[in-house]
Amino acid sequence: VRGRVQGVNFRHWTTTEARSLNLTGWVRNTPEGHVDGVALGAENDIAKFKKKLHQGPSIAQVTAVEIQKEETVEKPEDINWELTNFSIRR
């Protein structure tokens, strides 16, 4: 996520939004001033999450959301997930 997204509570906001959609994954600041992360969950919940990322918290100014890789899994229960929650990484 690009724009004014550091120092504006973006990671905390992202974590709250992801958890509200029952997503697992993580979010972190990058040295370049962006925010990146990984989100896993149901396809419709991921779609909602992507829309929310374009908005961000009220103080943020999101200029771009780039999706590096998107994969749909037919039977998520068959995957051995390493992530059990959505968290902030440092």
Interval 18-28: pLDDT, tens: 999 999 999 99
Domain span at residue 11? 2-88
User: Is 89 labeled as catalytic in the residue annotation?
Assistant: no
Question: H or E segment at 36?
Answer: strand 35-40
| Confidence bin at 85 (pLDDT 50/70/90) | confident
Tens-place pLDDT, residues 7-45: 999 999 999 999 999 999 999 999 999 999 999 888 899
* CATH code for position 58: 3.30.70.100
Q: What is the pTM of this model?
A: 0.83
How many independent structural domains does the chain possess? 1
Q: Mean pLDDT score of the chain, rounded to an integer?
A: 88
- Which runs of consecutive H residues, i.e. helices, occur in the chain? 10-20, 43-55
Alpha-carbon distance of 16 to 5, in angstroms, equals: 15
Catalytic residue among 29, 44, 85, 89: 29
Catalytic residue among 2, 4, 11, 28: 11
Query: Closest Cα partner for 82 from 31, 25, 4?
Result: 25
